[in-house]
Structure 1
Amino acid sequence: MQTTPQDVTGYWKDAKGCLVPDAMVKPIDKERDRLVHELVGKARGVSDVLAKFKGEAFGDIAAFLDLSAEQYGAQLGGKKGNLTLFSFDGKFKVQRAIQDRIAFDERLQSARVLIDECLVDWTEGARPEIQAIVNQAFATDKEGQINTGRVLALRRLEIADERWQRAMTAIGEAVQVVGSRSYIRVYERIGDTDQYQPIALDIAGV
């Protein structure tokens, strides 16, 4: 069965939107198209199953936490955090993880100016490793995004220069939480050890 949408009977629409007569489409191209559409359909089904599992898992964990809190007359409210639940025999564990996504506001630019002043004033060549670390921290990826982890790592450097300290304060105040990502991770204990291996929920880990 031909799966490619057609505006006119007997024609195939190519990637540029042009209509190609059926007779001019090679059999191998038709077979490739059929295979891709078949795999995409299956992938969408798997994605729907995972999405349903994730939603149900978060709901079930939240309900369990409320049940557990009732044992002590406690009321849980607000955003739930990370936690790990173990089976009674310790063979399995389920982790709920909520990871904040952070970005920097305009104050990061002020921090960079102060840091550049430090680098200019310090004796040339005296601290090449610091300059390399700074340049790497402020480098952007292909999407023009700055690696937040590398920038925040600058705060761990022990540098007494007052401008550097002000720059580190600016970096800390520039951090903004712009959203969060939630995860469910499931693990199974390896034999009788205290080590756990993940039960793969992503296609790369299967």
Structure 2
Amino acid sequence: MTDQQMYMTDTKGRLVPIAAVKPLDKLRDGLVAGMMGRAQGLRDDLAAFKADVMAEITAFVQLAAGEYEVQLGGIKGNLTLRSYDGLREIRVQVADRLVFDERLKVAEQLVGQCLADWSADARPELKVIVDRAFKTDKDGNVNTAAVLDLRRLEINDARWKKAMEAIADALTVTGTKSYVRFYERTAPDAPMKAVSLDLAAL
């Protein structure tokens, strides 16, 4: 019998002789390990399934483009494929992964100066929008969509415009993320419902 078979590791990283571990603790450990193994297998199967779906859809798009003698580099943006009877859909979304560099801090400071000067006249909702835009999550990341929403505001102030330029310059595309979702309905006039592949939603 190896050392690994003779001991179990506790929550503090210590090796505990198996004979000293309570039977219920052994059963619980085995249950968790077994279920985790199955969960990891399902995760790997889903990852392989997604890769197959994306590959087949890309091939189909290329086939469709070939009928019109057009060469496409791949799936970009949003795409929906429907079954002939209209009861099933596959929706694909390919979105850029966006991050901001240090120039976002410059923009935040300029916007802060604007709000300080406008404090008497600034609408409360504008302050809420700005606070939400620059608020960071627990990992220190800002909400990209909320920051970009600031650029839609028409404000005629040189500092504000400079801040919006800083936001645009700070934005960098670091890659793309693809999403694939499945929908179905029972009749042509019924609403589409998502086919959930999220264990928590089942």
Mark yes or no: TM-score above 0.5.
yes
* Equivalent residue, structure 2, for 1:76: 72
Distance (Å, rounded) in 2 between the aligned partners of 1:9 and 1:58: 43
Closer/same/farther in 2, CA of residues 77 and 202 from structure 1, 3 Å limit: same
TM-superposed CA distance for 1:106, in Å, is 2.0
Distance (Å, rounded) in 1 between the aligned partners of 2:199 and 2:91: 19
SS where residue 80 of structure 2 aligns? Answer: strand
Identity of aligned residues (%): 49
Distance (Å, rounded) in 2 between the aligned partners of 1:10 and 1:86: 57
User: Which consecutive residues of structure 1, in runs of 5 or more, have no partner in the other structure?
Assistant: 1-5
Q: Does 1:193 align with 2:185?
A: no
Q: Does 1:109 align with 2:87?
A: no
User: Which consecutive residues of structure 2, in runs of 5 or more, have no partner in the other structure?
Assistant: none
Aligned counterpart for 2:96 among listed residues 92, 100, 104:
100
TM-superposed CA distance for 1:117, in Å, is 1.6
Aligned counterpart for 2:117 among listed residues 109, 117, 121:
121
Please identify, of 91-100 and 14-23, the stretch whose mean Cα deviation from structure 2 is larger.
14-23
Q: Does 1:154 align with 2:150?
A: yes
Q: Partner letter of residue 140 of structure 1?
A: T
- For these two proteins, the number of residue pairs brought into alignment is 201
* Equivalent residue, structure 1, for 2:24: 28
Distance (Å, rounded) in 2 between the aligned partners of 1:190 and 1:166: 53
TM-superposed CA distance for 1:124, in Å, is 4.1
TM-score normalized with structure 1 length: 0.88
Distance (Å, rounded) in 2 between the aligned partners of 1:200 and 1:123: 47
Distance (Å, rounded) in 1 between the aligned partners of 2:65 and 2:154: 44
Aligned counterpart for 2:84 among listed residues 73, 88, 91:
88
TM-superposed CA distance for 1:132, in Å, is 3.2
Aligned counterpart for 1:178 among listed residues 174, 177, 200:
174
Q: Partner letter of residue 90 of structure 1?
A: G
Q: Partner letter of residue 192 of structure 1?
A: P
Distance (Å, rounded) in 1 between the aligned partners of 2:121 and 2:20: 66
Q: Is the 8 A contact 2:58 2:75 kept in 1?
A: no
TM-superposed CA distance for 1:116, in Å, is 1.7
TM-score normalized with structure 2 length: 0.90
Aligned counterpart for 1:41 among listed residues 18, 37, 40:
37
Please identify, of 169-178 and 129-138, the stretch whose mean Cα deviation from structure 2 is larger.
129-138
Please identify, of 190-199 and 46-55, the stretch whose mean Cα deviation from structure 2 is larger.
190-199
Q: Partner letter of residue 57 of structure 1?
A: V
1:12-48 CA-to-partner distances (Å, cap 9, x unmatched) read 1213221112222111111110110110111112112
Distance (Å, rounded) in 2 between the aligned partners of 1:188 and 1:95: 11
